[in-house]
Chains A and B, each alone.
Chain A
Amino acid sequence: MKKVAVVGVGATKFSGPQSKTEVELFAEAAMEAITESKLKPGSIKALFVGNVLGDFAEGQGMVQTYAAENIGCLHVPANRYEGACASASMAIRDAFIWVASGFYDIVLAGGVERAATMGTGLATRTFAMFSDARYEYPAGITFPAVFAMLTHLYSDTYGIPLEKLREQMAKVSIQSYKHGSINPKAQFFGKNRDMTVEKVLGSFVVSSPLTLHDCCPFSDGAAAVVLASEDIARKLTGKPVYMTGVGQSSSGPLSNQSDYLPRIRAREISSRQAYDMAGVTPQDIDLCELHDCFSIASLIAAEGLGFFDFGKAGEAWEKGEADIGGKIAINPSGGLKSKGHPIGATGASQVYEIVKQLRGEVEPERQVEGASAGMTDTLGGDGSTVVNMILKRGW
């Protein structure tokens, strides 16, 4: 297996409803990644694009071929990945495997979504399509409802009174807002700096006990990365970021994950694969962009990845152990909560952030000093797909 490096990254600003098409958004992110790599579109051997709901958002299927032609990657194989919110991470992991295998030497991977453009009603309906359509959607399941049920289950399982847990969850949202408010590419850049526990708890209830400020927004945006084999990477950049471990796992309907809930079995399998491949442990990771689609999801993810003991992540956030300068810096970008969550692009945006952090290229106030190893965690559906990637500074 060849060593694989990220040689360029690009991302649009994440936002609410906006007027650029998915092809236009992806083209901007992709060309930024290609240009940063000092490559030309003709150097790209294949294009892997995460896109979930383009069919519903703008009536566009197979956006990947139009994107490939649009950015000058003419006649290359172009594949679309659909794994709900983990789509872009699936695309990047597959790109990694193809480059590692030696079949391709340079692959562009990323994703794009216009979830905000769809509006809350259609977005809520289509996001519910990631739950079991025949056996669970009839009960009226929504994505917030999945994590709302996991919140009550978490409280019951670990014996943390719901009121206490909700305060801990509010601290998660406050930290994410703080980081996102100083990230110019975040949807909530410059916003929600003055968030308080009282404001989080007092905002309107989406699905009890989750309030608006426990939930990530619907977002539009795109992100892309260029992966290349080590020999090519060394010619292109003095700062290659190596992808040293990847993992992916799947599960069935939420009710059939009952042996493990509120733990997510797919995450524990996927992250183990990534740690083993990279030859590292959770203690070796300096920062992690993890899947905080809801505040409770951050706690569940940070525990499943091995950063904190089960039932203890809330305390860690309260003590600042999950903040920049703490035991591990979680979501210095602002995460899905504050940077935004254009679902088909989210995983690529996580890789973008880790690469920028390892290079020391983010705003000083949210830079993790001396970071040498970072990790991504992307969850698709209600625990049914998880992808993890570990990245290491190569200089």
Chain B
Amino acid sequence: MTYKLIFKDYNDALKQNKLLGLKCQACGAVNVPPKMACRQCTSPDMEIIELKGAGKIRTFTTVYVASEGRESEIPYVIVMVELDEGPWIMGNLEGIDPTKATMALIGRRVKMGHKVFPGDKYSAGEGARPLFSLLD
């Protein structure tokens, strides 16, 4: 069975600030990132949809010790955002001082852009991730 939404297509769309997912035709669940089978009901009957990229921060951290090759990025903020369509997604948060990130971030509304990790010798190429910013 052909994989409906492969990483390359998801990644190409994210680089256009479009967040793609799969909507299950059996149970209605929205799947991000894409999968062969729905994570709720395991049906493979899913269609590609575009999500709004809006949501609220559910948790966060500021990273001070980086992986080899990413030392120049620290300190940076990682967030898990609950999208308006339901799924959570991992990305970064811009527009605040990373050293000042506090629990007050939880619950804040965000909108989505993107940023590309250019890849390293282990990563089989680049990968974009959502880059969120506070809405209010």
Q: Which residues of A are interface residues toward B (Cβ below 8 A)?
A: 120-122, 124-125, 128-129, 132-142, 144-145, 148-153, 155-156, 162, 204-210, 252-256, 258
Contact = CB atoms under 8 A, between A and B. Distances in A.
Contacts of A128: 67
Given A121-B68, A138-B126, A145-B63, 13 more contacts: A121-B69, A125-B67, A132-B33, A140-B66, A140-B117, A152-B60, A204-B64, A205-B64, A206-B65, A207-B64, A252-B35, A255-B32, A255-B88
B59 A152 contact: yes
Contacts of B129: 135-136, 138-139
Nearest to A206: B65
Q: Which 7 residue pairs of A and B lie closest in terms of their CB atoms, listed nearest first?
A: A121-B68, A148-B61, A138-B117, A138-B127, A125-B67, A258-B88, A138-B129
B132 to A, nearest CB: 10
Interface of B: 7, 11, 32-33, 35, 39, 58-71, 73, 76, 78, 80, 82, 87-92, 101, 103, 106, 115-117, 120, 122-123, 126-130
A284 B134 CA distance: 49
B107 to A, nearest CB: 8
Contacts of B80: 149, 153, 254-255, 258
A207 B117 CA distance: 20
A148 B11 CA distance: 27
A142 B63 contact: yes
B103 A207 contact: no
B103 A156 contact: yes
Nearest to B106: A156
A156 B59 contact: yes
Contact of A134 (B60, B61, B87, B127): B127
B76 to A, nearest CB: 6
Contact of A255 (B11, B90, B120): B90
Most buried by B among A162, A206, A258: A258
Nearest to A204: B64
A135 B128 CA distance: 8
